[in-house]
Each structure stands twice: as structure tokens, then as C-alpha cells.
Amino acid sequence: MAGEAEARLLIAEGLGAAAGREARFGGGRRGAVNEIRFFEWRGRPLLLRRRLPEVAFAYEPDIAKEAVVAAAWRARGGGAAAVEAAMAAALQRPAPGRLPHGPELLAAGHGARPWSIQQALPGRALGEAPELAAYRRLGALLAELHALPLAACAETFRELGGPPLDPGALFGRDLERALAAAGLQAPLSAALRQAAATDFSGARPALCHNDLHGLNVLRGEAGEPVPIDWDNAVLRPAELDLVKLRHWTALDAGGWLVSEPALYAAFREGYDGAGGPAPDTGRLRACEILWLLRALIFEQRREAAGRPPAPPFPPARHYRARLEVLAEGSMAERLETGAAGAGT
């Protein structure tokens, strides 16, 4: 955890010298990607989030994603050009704002260890106190985020507004990188590659939270879902945002994130009923494979660094088993299709 002197310097940079002097610190916690210091200033409960120096996996690790997301949300009434211009400006100079249906962002900074100062919200995580209505509402909120107009997907946030990228080619690059890093045996990699083969030509570009699960959503004072932790946000097809919650829906009695089909079904009811384009089944399967590979890689790196599996995140073998099931299903489907074709 960062020392108090270091935390005060960041608070002073974000909120002014008086805040740096007067901040009253409370507790803190250390996650997989960030460390958090809670503090109070002039009666307001706030928190300082800062990227850990030893992160096993991060998307664009030098960007304070909250600032870019808040800028996009602030410009949501405009068209794609307005949203993309706001995001580009936030990449140069982060500004205060409000995260989508979430806390107020007071300050942020890009760099080797991005940081942000946010409103500290009370309440338990949705996955600790699950309720069908809240998951349904979460689906509707995510659909609202995905409705932000974007002209195209982008490899990185800094490339937004550049030459349009073919979403299929972009997904293919993401998949090949994940397959290479996962270290799977060649037959399994080949089967997963085949299972993920689908048409991305009609994919809708979206600002994806990309880390939506039962512990990254709080229950607000009125029980409403409040998404937090935007570090993994990316510009990809909307289907990517629908797969993680399927596997990490809520906590079980042992404190592990597990799949809860009824809760996930409620989430999809909210999303599908919001009036946006229907998610594509093939792209959902492809995105699920990509996410499972990334989860496997993350846990393999943590375990290789001497950090044994511990709740809430399942161990690497959990994701490998899920990938094997998807690969076997794809192989069986191809065999059935081939047999049907041979008989016609």
C-alpha cells in the first residue's frame, strides 16, 4: 500500500494543496490491479485508486480509463464525432466527470501508474447480495453504455478516430495473441480457433466495460446497480461485455465467483429488452473463448509468481476445463455437420 506521504502528494495534485494537507485517511485495500486508499476531505468520503507496480495483465496500463469513460459519458448526447473528440481530449488532459451510473470522478492522472480520485460509495457488491431485479437493471444500464455512438472499434484508445479497423481482423489478432500466451497444446488451440470462427462483419462497435462481474458492481442506497472499476475498458464489439458475468455472476458460500444461470438470465433480459441490436450467438461464443483464454493467462501468471489460487477468482485449471468443453463441443458440431453433409 502506498505510504501516506505519497498519497498526499497525489491528492494535492488532483484536488489542491489544501486537500493534500487536510485529508483524513481511513482504511485501504489491495486488489489484483489497483491499491485503494480511503480518505475524507471536508466531510466528503473519497478514495484514491492507483495502479500497482507489478500487474500481471492490464489493457493500456498507462491510461486512467475512468477519465476517458467519464468524458465519453458526458458527451453521450452528441454523435460519434462528439464522443470520440471528448475521449481524445481526456487522453491528453483528464477532467472531472461522472462515470456511467456510477461515482463522481474528481481527478485522474495518466502515466506509468495511473491514478484517480473518486467519490467513495457505500454498499455491498451486487455479487454479495444478489437480486434478480438488480441484475435485470444492470443489463439495461449496460445496453445504455453500448448505445454510445462510435464510428468503429479501435485497437487502443489512442487509435480511436484513426483508419477504421475490420472488427473480424481485430478479434483475430486478439485471439491469436491470447492463444500464443496461453501455452495450450496445439490440438486444443486449433479446436478453439475453429470454435471461435464467426462473422464479425455486422459487429457493433461499443465502449465496453470489459470487467463486468459480481464484485465490480455495487448496490446503491436504493438497491440500484453501480458499475465500478473501469481499468479494462476497451473499444470492441458489444458482445465482449456479455460473457464475463456469465461465469463470474455472484459469490458462492466459499467466497468464489461462480456462474448463476438465473441471475445471468435476468441480466440478459434487461440488456435484450433495452431495444438495441440483438447480440449475435456466434460472436458471443467467440468472445467467451477469448475471455476464458485471458482469464487463464492471468491466473497462470499469478500462480507462476507464487500467488496460490484464493477466493474470489477461480484457479487456472477452472478456465482450462471450460475451454476444453467449448473445444469438444465445436469438434462434435463439426462432426455432426460433416455427417449430415455426407448423407445429402
Q: Which pLDDT tens digit goes with each residue over 98-142?
A: 999 999 999 999 999 999 999 999 889 999 999 999 999 999 999
Q: Is the backbone peptide bond immediately before 279 cis, with ω within 30 degrees of 0?
A: no
Q: For the domain with range 132-342, which CATH number is right: 3.40.640.10, 3.90.1200.10, 3.30.1360.120, 3.10.20.90?
A: 3.90.1200.10
Helices (H) and strands (E) in the chain, counts: 11, 12
- pTM above 0.85? yes
Query: Which contacts (CB < 8 Å, 24+ apart) does range 40-48 have?
Result: 41/11, 41/15, 44/119, 45/119, 45/120, 45/122, 46/106, 46/117, 46/118, 46/119, 46/120, 47/117, 47/118, 47/119, 47/120, 48/7, 48/10, 48/11, 48/115, 48/116, 48/117
Whether the pLDDT of residue 93 is over 60: the answer is yes
**Per-residue pLDDT averaged across 89-99, rounded?**
97
Whether the pLDDT of residue 339 is over 80: the answer is no
**Per-residue pLDDT averaged across 266-285, rounded?**
96
CA distance 91 to 65: 9
**Per-residue pLDDT averaged across 8-14, rounded?**
98
- Delimit the domains of the chain by residue range: 4-63+95-119, 132-342
Whether the pLDDT of residue 344 is over 80: the answer is no
Whether the pLDDT of residue 56 is over 90: the answer is no
**Per-residue pLDDT averaged across 232-250, rounded?**
97
**Per-residue pLDDT averaged across 208-230, rounded?**
95
Q: 157: phi > 0 → left, psi -120 to 50 → alpha, else beta; which?
A: alpha
pLDDT of residue 342: 38
Integer angstrom CA distances of residue 228 from 101, 131, 257: 9, 18, 17
Strand-strand pairing, 115-119 and 44-51: antiparallel
pLDDT of residue 334: 53
* Other CB atoms within 10 Å distance of the CB of residue 335: 10
CATH architecture classification, 4-63+95-119: 2-Layer Sandwich (3.30)
For residue 187, give the amino acid letter: P
**Per-residue pLDDT averaged across 46-65, rounded?**
87
163: confidence class by pLDDT, cuts 50, 70, 90 = confident
